[in-house]
Amino acid sequence: MEFSDAISELESGGAPLEAVERLLLANPQEEKELFSLADETRERHVGKSTCVHGVLEFSNFCKNSCLYCGIRKESPVKRYRMQPDEIVENVAWAAKELGYKMVVLQSGEDRHYTGETLCELAREIKKRCNIILFFSIGDRTQEEYASLKKAGADGVLYRFETSSSELFEKMRPGTSFGTRMAHLSFFHELKYLVATGFIIGLPHQSSKQLAQDILSLGKLKANMISIGPFLPSPLTPLASQKSPSLPLALRALAICRLLYKKVRMPVTTAFETLDPAGRQKAIFAGANSLMVNITPRKYSQCYSIYPNRFGEREEIEKLTREAIEFVQGIGRRVCRGYAKDLRPQFSAPACAE
């Protein structure tokens, strides 16, 4: 298939597997065109607004043994749990002092925090801060997620990791792909904003599977796309495996923008960790927000899902300032002024300024 035919197929609203696969294989010249088309699409459909989101990792305890993840239960990392008060204080500080409008509370799958504790956390944060609050806490019951929604949570970040059920269950022993998919559908029923995605270049992932991963985002009606390259962690059975190249990861991102024109798509930390130019390149290949790690520095180095995560040792204030300056420096606008009703702004063409 010709590159230009593959582009036309995507632009005409179709999403054939063959065209996505072809674009994933774009040569350096075609790739330039792909990135600039993605950037134009971003400009036309979501404009210059670029949000800087915060992620606070409140516990690295995990009951799972995902082959790719450095905080899997067998990993010898130093474990920590933040107290609810400490979590609230840190989010409130990020919102009030640093201007964060959207924060993701993330952890390993840690049952130490009961459903009720999480609800209290959500209530307290929403009482004190005018932010969009996401949870990224893995599998919980539908009842727990329903209560959390009632307590004020706005969204869930829950990646499907791979759209191949076989690869999923191989990479995540003891977990089920069916459960993953069921969660993603009940999140929508519960009216959560749904952020989902996959790992680009997971070992044993074929390019056809990667194309299927990209197309799954549409079927799952993602409000936000969270994808990033695989980075081998020395603490895992996949230690000797390779990362994908930055260009392949960028091609996946750019294809997502061509397919899902209005979606929110952050540059995830894995892009920034894979290559120092990752942020710059991703933001010009279709991405329209940044994620800053706002975990207190005494903990962030223990949340080692992969090594040397971008920014894990730098001061949060400095990282935030740099992210804002970066956004302004490339002529985009940092999102400001979320008012009372945050939800429409989030899924609308661009967030309010």
Interface residues with ligand 5AD (CB under 6 A)?
68-69, 159, 161, 199, 228, 230-231, 233, 270, 305-306
- Picking from 308, 300, 244, 238, the residue whose alpha carbon sits closest to that of residue 276 is 308
230 vs 346, beta carbon nearer ligand 5AD: 230
Q: How far is the CB of 243 from ligand 5AD (least distance, A)?
A: 8
Residue type, 1: M
Instruction: Find the helix or strand (DSSP H, E) in which 66 lies.
Output: none
Residue 135 per-residue DSSP state: E
41 vs 197, beta carbon nearer ligand 5AD: 197
- 138-145's contacts with Cβ under 8 Å and 24+ in sequence apart are 138/64, 138/107, 138/108, 138/109, 139/109, 139/175, 139/179, 139/180, 139/183, 140/115, 141/115, 142/186, 142/190, 143/115, 144/115, 144/118, 145/183, 145/186, 145/187, 145/190, 145/192
Contacts of 174 (CB under 8 A, 6+ apart): 64, 65
Beta-strand runs (E) in the chain: 49-59, 102-107, 132-136, 155-157, 193-196, 199-200, 224-225, 228-229, 266-267, 289-293, 333-334
Q: How far is the CB of 202 from ligand 5AD (least distance, A)?
A: 8
Q: How far is the CB of 297 from ligand 5AD (least distance, A)?
A: 19
210 vs 305, beta carbon nearer ligand 5AD: 305
Q: How far is the CB of 340 from ligand 5AD (least distance, A)?
A: 31
Q: How far is the CB of 181 from ligand 5AD (least distance, A)?
A: 15
243 vs 320, beta carbon nearer ligand 5AD: 243
207 vs 241, beta carbon nearer ligand 5AD: 241
159 vs 257, beta carbon nearer ligand 5AD: 159
Buried-exposed string 338-351: b where 16+ CB fall within 10 A, e elsewhere? beeebeebbeeebb
Q: How far is the CB of 159 from ligand 5AD (least distance, A)?
A: 4
Q: How far is the CB of 199 from ligand 5AD (least distance, A)?
A: 5
122 vs 270, beta carbon nearer ligand 5AD: 270
